[in-house]
Structure 1
Amino acid sequence: MSNSRSLSVVMIAKNEAELLAECIQSVAWADEIIVLDSGSTDGSVALAESLGAKVFTHTDWQGFGKQRQKAQNYASQDYILMIDADERVTPELRLSIQHTLATADDNVVYSLGRRNLFLGRFMRHSGWYPDRVNRLYANARYCYNDDLVHESLNTNGAKIVALKGDLLHLTCRDFFAFQRKQLHYAEQWAAQRHLAGKRCGYLSIFTHTLGAFCKTWLLRAGFLDGKQGLLLAMVNAQYTFNKYTALWALGRNATQ
């Protein structure tokens, strides 16, 4: 008799009709697929339902972390696989997940290696591969934190085991859309840290920016990713500049 755990694939989405079909099809083998929509107007809900997903709606947005918590609350199976609409489970990763579910240890959290797309190239360096994320875990034991952006799983000191196979992440398909998302993340990052009492000095804006470029280009061997590696190093520096400048500006405004 098999002791294999059942699996809920969980995702949050808004206006992802362009991406949802391939994402859901890549995990159609799961016991259930949960989509928590935050107010789509592009047909995402109907599309997800037509592909067999259980769709729920929550439009009171309180950040990515809390939205993932709410999405997980709808899951009824033993294990959670948390993914995004712009991610796809490869056949090798599927086999690895299914093997893991057959022998899973609830005290372990399983990490997936992501291959991130940037301007037409799946990056192999630059800190963008394998870009491990903790995404497969026991439903009753773990959940996401409350962070507005760059949320992560509360692993509670659990052992982390890396799975074989890649999770394809279509990070940057459209450069301007990617930039808008980065700007939004920077704004949310700065707001959260400002509320937590964090402040940023003027000079630290530039040291963090330069550090981000050097970390991507040199320490993480971005130069091996060719033209995209250099461009990504500049984009990471720009993102860092936006984050710390926004935090500096919030602190300055608070003292005036």
Structure 2
Amino acid sequence: MELKRLTLSILIITKNEAELISDCLLSCQFADEIILLDSGSIDSTPEIAKELGAKVYIDKEWEGFGKQRQKIQNYATCDLVLMIDADERISSELQSEIKCILNGGLPVNEVYAIPRLNFFLGRYMKYSGWFPDYVIRLYSREHFRYKDDLVHESLNFGDAKVKKLKGYFTHLTCRDLFQFQKKQLHYAQIWASERAIAHKRCNYSSIWIHTIAAFFKTYFIKCGFLDGKQGLLLSFVNANYTFNKYTILWINKSENSR
């Protein structure tokens, strides 16, 4: 008996992504439906998305990445969902793999991990811990939900089997170092706040231990030196991000102890 083809919803959460959203959506046109949940863009992101066939919803009540991903999943109607960000594009290889999956049975106890080829200051990184950079983004809509994480959200997939795909996202991670650093600082603040709420603390020396370890791991253990000057710069960026995380956590501890 021939299996019925599964349907696919591609889901995108956005805010002020007019510069990037067109190419993202053009790579998604093979889906049965494309849904965009915007959290209050003041640019033309929603209008561009509508012109390219996406169903657009607006929700300005931001509660974190995990909850926002679950909100958009609630709008989906297809068998499988694929989460994608505005700065990601679906390669032709990944599109072909997904089409093969749609022709199979419903993967009730399976989720799919997709590698990302990350772009950093003019170079697609092959080392530095940035490739293959698997993210779990393709799964059964009815069987899996996102955790309520503020940042670096993750799917709650329990004991489901994780299947790694070969096709990849291209990810425009960092085209502008200043904007990237601003985003990293924002993430560091959220990370420190989450740890403070969980009563996690750090001392002054641990700031430097973790910072030095972050550089060493990226440049030497993850072979960042093979990514040339971008690998060196990324090692410093990772060290700076780590420094910010632990410094903010240490400051919070100091202020709370007064």
Give the TM-score normalised by structure 1.
0.98
Structure 1's unaligned 5+ residue stretches are none
Per the alignment, residue 110 of structure 2 pairs with 108
Q: Which of 220, 223, 248 is the aligned partner of 2:222?
A: 220
Partner in structure 2 of residue 235 of structure 1: 237
- Superimposed CA distance per residue, residues 13-42 of structure 1 (whole angstroms, 9 cap, x where no aligned partner): 000000000000001110001100000010
> 1:164 is paired with a residue of what secondary structure?
coil
CA contact (8 A) 2:3 2:104 kept: no
TM-aligned CA deviation for residue 2 of structure 1 = 4.0
1:39 matched to which residue of 2? Answer: 40
CA distance in 2, matches of 1:236, 1:78: 38
2:231 & 2:4 partners in 1: Cα distance? Answer: 45
Superposed CA offset, 1:74-118 (max 9, x none): 111110100100000000110011111212422100010000000
How far apart, in 2, do the equivalents of 1:35 and 1:169 lie?
18
- C-alpha distance in 2 between matches for 1:82 and 1:18: 19
Offset of 1:179 from its aligned partner?
0.7
Local SS of the residue matching 1:80: strand
CA shift for structure 1 position 4: 2.1
Runs (5+) with no aligned partner, structure 2: none
Structure 2 equivalent of residue 92 of structure 1: 93
Q: Secondary structure at the match of 1:18?
A: helix
Instruction: Tell me if the contact between 2:87 and 2:171 (Cα under 8 Å) persists in the aligned partners.
Output: yes
Deviations along 1:53-74, one digit per CA (max 9) or x if unpaired, are: 0010111111111111111111
Q: With the length of structure 2 as denominator, give the TM-score of the two structures.
A: 0.97
* 1:153-232 aligned within 5 A: 153-232=155-234
- Which residue in 1 is equivalent to 2:55? 54
Distance 1:3 1:200 in 2: 54
Give every structure 1 segment of 4 or more consecutive aligned residues whose post-TM-superposition deviation is greater than 4 Å.
Answer: none
SS in 2 for 1:8: strand
Partner in structure 2 of residue 73 of structure 1: 74
SS where residue 148 of structure 1 aligns?
coil
Corresponding letter in the other structure for 1:185: Y
Q: Which residue of 1 aligns with 2:126?
A: 124
Instruction: Give the match's secondary structure for 2:245.
Output: helix
Q: How many residues align?
A: 256
Deviation at 1:3, TM superposition (A): 2.0
